[in-house]
Amino acid sequence: MARLRVGVIFGGCSEEHPISVKSAREVASHLDTDKYQPFFVGITKSGAWKLCDRPDANWENGASRPVVLSPDRSVHGLLVLDRGTYETIRLDLVLPVLHGKLGEDGAMQGLLELSGIPYAGCDVQSSALCMDKSLAYIVAGSAGIATPNFCTVTATEHVDADQLTYPVFVKPARSGSSFGVTKVVRKEELPGAVETAREYDSKVLIEEAVVGSEVGCAVLGNDRDLLVGEVDRIALSHGFFRIHQESEPESGSENSTPIVPADISPAQRLLVQETAKAVYRALGCRGLSRVDMFLAADGTVVLNEVNTLPGLTSYSRYPRMMAAAGLPLGEVLDRVVSLAAGNLR
């Protein structure tokens, strides 16, 4: 049987570019090349697309070639550019390994829809919905899922600091990881926090600080047929969880440690997993997502956010949770790609 030709797109223009490259390296190491023939396409921070052998440290400057994804469905793949001419590479499907803006927000998914190429992960609508935390809260809340109390602020809107109950978290409504997030404990800190968030998005989310533990659940699958990983819990020594803010994340965080499986009761574990599946379905997710939640002091599970293209690095939460449930990264990738191809093995 011929191998499926899989385009692995990584990098991107968002602040999460370095994490995406690291995720792609793990994909390159774990994708089953007996089943799949990968074509690695890296997007530089400035937006240039390059076809490279692997997402190694020199992928931008090595033997890479300019390439674009053709929106013409008759081409169904890549156009490799060379001195005014081009060659075509047909792709069976695309595995996006992109995090944050222009990768996880529906933009890349829309381009792939135009191209007619099947792709792994969430579609345009669910990607855009999950990327906007305020909209995700509204939809999840309408499905009976607990969410923090929140409000949003536009680019020109003034915030009345006296109307809030502190502490609150101020964050970009449509951004990834913890970039631009501030915990505000006094009203005097609010204007600066809003301006910090506006560096990443014109729409700012202000939400109550939920008292409890931060937990997460990895979800894999489509529709009713879902597999969940072991729940994790983020143990904090101080401050709040700031993912992907460390200078050397491989060596750990200065204030947080993920505990997998989470040190919670079996009943709490089941409730977190069932809530994660309910969130996943309510927001229309498919393929894979990581659902981040709070286990509140009263036992309620409260939605935090959904990552539709979660990190796949050696230190990322999603692969750790799946591995703890007995599914190593290679098998995760096989299932995700097979779902996109429509022939789950």
**CA distances to 18, 169, 244 from 216, in Å:** 23, 19, 16
In the CATH scheme, what is the code of domain 4-119?
Answer: 3.40.50.20
The low-confidence residues of the chain, meaning pLDDT below 70, are 1, 177, 237-256, 343-345
* Predicted pLDDT at 17: 94
pLDDT digits (tens, 9 = 90+) for 237-292: 545 555 544 556 555 555 568 999 999 999 999 999 999 999 999 999 999 999 99
Asked if 341 contacts 184 with a C-beta cutoff of 8 angstroms, the reply is: no
pLDDT digits (tens, 9 = 90+) for 69-100: 999 999 999 999 987 788 999 999 999 999 99
**CA distances to 61, 232, 332 from 327, in Å:** 35, 15, 6
Which of 232, 343, 283 is closest to 123 using CA atoms?
283
* Predicted pLDDT at 344: 41
Instruction: Measure the CA–CA gap between 136 and 340, rounded to whole angstroms.
Output: 24
* Predicted pLDDT at 327: 97
In the CATH scheme, what is the code of domain 128-146+211-341?
Answer: 3.30.470.20
In the CATH scheme, what is the code of domain 150-208?
Answer: 3.30.1490.20
Sequence ranges of the domains in the chain: 4-119, 128-146+211-341, 150-208
* Predicted pLDDT at 179: 86
Report the relative pairing of strands 256-259 and 287-296 from DSSP bridges: unpaired
